[in-house]
């Protein structure tokens, strides 16, 4: 698929590189597409990856990943132009400045606010509730795989995103409509608390057990 990954931080780098290695066409959308850092990322991602401005990156994309700080999402979305016909992946968490909590919750979520900002395209929440460096890079724990809880209001878009999540090694759990982002975003805060404050580190993750 043609995937625009907007943002070349932790989430964008890992997802773009892994999908490029899987054969997808990746265009990183960056504020500094010709910087040594971004050129190094493109080289690591290999021949299926390029980098350009965010507005250029989305032009031919079927999928757009908004791997940006939530505080900057609205500004960046305005720069992207018309996103109709594309599927938007939202991995964002509305973290406060010192990452001690969320700035939104219980009655709305970053996912719902982003969906409101892009009424012309389906938005799917995915990748928000686990760490990028350890778990998005490798969600396999022995003979188990981590769950990736996703949600969104468009079933077809969610099915496409579920495929992209599954191919990275996660087991997808569909949590229903975008209002479930109200529960997925606090899960990210719990993961951050366990990994950081509670000292468990980044090699921890959630899995839904069933019987
Ligand atoms: N890190 C994780 O483990 C993790 C896990 C799950 C979810 N998330 C969420 O996913 C989102 C991305 O997280 P991240 O860790 O990848 O963030 P990050 O490392 O800080 O990277 C964010 C990227 O957004 C781009 N950007 C564009 N406009 C920006 C602006 N005005 N200010 C700052 N950055 C701007 C930058 O890419 P360019 O410089 O190339 O433009 C930057 O590298 C966040 O909402 C985060 O809460 C993170």
Q: Per-residue pLDDT tens for 61-70?
A: 999 999 999 9
Q: pLDDT-derived band of residue 107, with 50, 70 and 90 as boundaries? A: very high
Cα 64 to its chain centre, rounded Å, is: 9
Q: Which of 75, 70, 127 is nearest to 101 (CA)?
A: 70
Q: Which of 68, 14, 1, 89 is nearest to 45 (CA)?
A: 14
Atom index in ligand 1 nearest the CA of residue 131 equals: 3
| Ligand 1 nearest-atom number relative to CA 10 | 16
Three-state SS sequence of 149-201: EEEECCHHHHHHHHHHHHCCCCEEEECCCHHHHHHHHHHHHHHHHHHHHCCCC
Distance from Cα 158 to the centre of ligand 1, integer Å: 22
Cβ proximity of 106 and 68 under 8 Å: no
Ligand 1 contact via 37 beta carbon (within 6 Å): no
pTM of the shown model? 0.98
Mutate to test the pocket of ligand 1, among 6, 8, 11, 12 (most ligand atoms within 8 A of CB): 11
| Ligand 1 pocket mutation, candidates 4, 9, 29, 186, criterion most atoms within 8 A of CB | 9
The model's pLDDT over 37-96, given as tens digits with 9 standing for 90+, comes to 999 999 999 999 999 999 999 999 999 999 999 999 999 999 999 999 999 999 999 999
Q: Which residues pair with 34 in a beta bridge?
A: none
pLDDT in the model for residue 105:
94
Tell me which residue has its CA closest to atom 30 in ligand 1: 72
The token pair at 87 is 């599927």
Helix axes 10-21, 36-45, angle to 10 degrees: 30
- Mean pLDDT on 134-153: 98
| 126 exposure class (CB count in 10 Å sphere: 0-12, 13-18, 19+) | buried
């Amino acid at each position: 698929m043609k995937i625009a990954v907007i943002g070349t931080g932790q989430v964008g780098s890992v997802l773009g590189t892994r999908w490029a290695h899987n054969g997808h066409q990746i265009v990183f959308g960056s504020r500094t597409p010709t910087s040594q850092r971004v050129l190094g990322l493109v080289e690591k991602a290999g021949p299926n990856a390029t980098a350009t401005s965010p507005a250029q990156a989305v032009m031919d994309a079927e999928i757009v990943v908004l791997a940006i700080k939530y505080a900057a999402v609205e500004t960046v979305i305005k720069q992207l132009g018309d996103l109709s016909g594309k599927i938007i992946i939202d991995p964002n968490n509305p973290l406060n400045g010192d990452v001690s909590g969320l700035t939104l919750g219980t009655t709305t979520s970053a996912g719902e606010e982003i969906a409101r900002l892009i009424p012309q395209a389906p938005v799917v929440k995915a990748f928000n509730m686990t760490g990028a460096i350890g778990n998005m890079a490798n969600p396999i724990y022995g003979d188990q795989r981590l769950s990736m809880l996703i949600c969104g209001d468009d079933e077809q878009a969610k099915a496409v995103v579920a495929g992209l999540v599954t191919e990275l090694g996660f087991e997808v759990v569909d949590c229903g409509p975008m209002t479930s982002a109200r529960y997925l975003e606090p899960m990210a805060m719990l993961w951050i608390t366990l990994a950081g404050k509670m000292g468990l580190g980044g090699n921890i993750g959630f899995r839904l057990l069933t019987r």
